[in-house]
Amino acid sequence: MLDCQGLILDESVVILNKKIMLLPMFPLPSVFFPGEIVALHIFEERYKQLIRDAREMAINFGVPAYIDGEIAYGTELELKEIIKTYDTGEMDIVCIGRRTFKINTFQKVMDGKLYAAGQVEYLPYYDDSVRTLEENVLGLIIELYGLMDVSILGLTVENFDIYQLIHKIGLSLAQEYKLLKMNYKSERLLFIKAHLTNTIQVLKQVNQSKEMIGMNGHFKNFDPIDFREFKI
């Protein structure tokens, strides 16, 4: 056993010491955020074991984003519920995102386990946003959804949580990954605001093009031109 001022459940599974922790790892080509509700279907044997350990030992696990063949940053997930267990041992589970982290070391297979593990350092996060900025981002989201003819009901600045909509505003995986590594909420909101502004501009141009294309094939009635007014 290791002697540290943290919580030791099992030295082969989890060691918590302030900001440094050995986490079971579940790499995925996805980015999740703190506070996000995550639904997963578990079918590989190594991850069935991981989820059983998470349930029985009440430990969290890390989901590093697998991008371009590399893993470096990710989010700690807490298992909230196993919705269904199949005869094959496969599971439907619901988790919630907790903290973001950077991987310091990575083990492809943890000792005595089927799954991977990694020593991670949790990233600091500062909630420094102002209400005006959140209102601006919310307004842009409502405008974006309006341009796409998608209804968005009951969303106000009081219950607004950007991470519940983060995968529904047209961000690429690379953009989500960049967002994940930001330490300030204001920085994340400004990044999203710039993305929404550009996306809305493009959509308006597309809608305008659709209107122009829709005119093709129809007879057009132009007012007569008075050539006497022309100057060359």
- Per domain, the residue ranges of the chain are 7-122, 131-215
Residue 19: the pLDDT is 66
**Residue that has been written with the tokens 């141009």 in this structure:** 205
pLDDT in 10s for each residue of the chain, 232 residues = 233 333 334 433 443 444 678 999 999 999 999 989 999 999 999 999 999 999 999 999 999 999 988 999 999 999 999 999 999 999 999 999 999 999 999 999 999 999 999 999 999 988 887 889 999 999 999 999 999 888 877 777 777 777 878 898 999 999 999 999 999 989 999 999 999 999 999 999 887 776 666 555 554 444 554 545 545 4
Under DSSP, the state recorded for 227 is: G
Give pLDDT, residue 226.
52
Give pTM, 2 decimals.
0.77
Beta strands of 26-123 (E only): which ranges? Answer: 37-42, 61-64, 73-85, 91-107, 116-122
Helix (H, G, I), strand (E, B) or coil at 70: strand
Q: How many residues does the chain have?
A: 232
- Cα separation, 84 vs 154, whole angstroms: 30
The CATH number of 7-122 is: 2.30.130.40
Specify the pLDDT at position 37. 92
According to the model, what pLDDT value does residue 208 have? 77
Contact between 25 and 106 (Cβ < 8 Å): yes
Helix (H) or strand (E) holding 7: strand 7-10
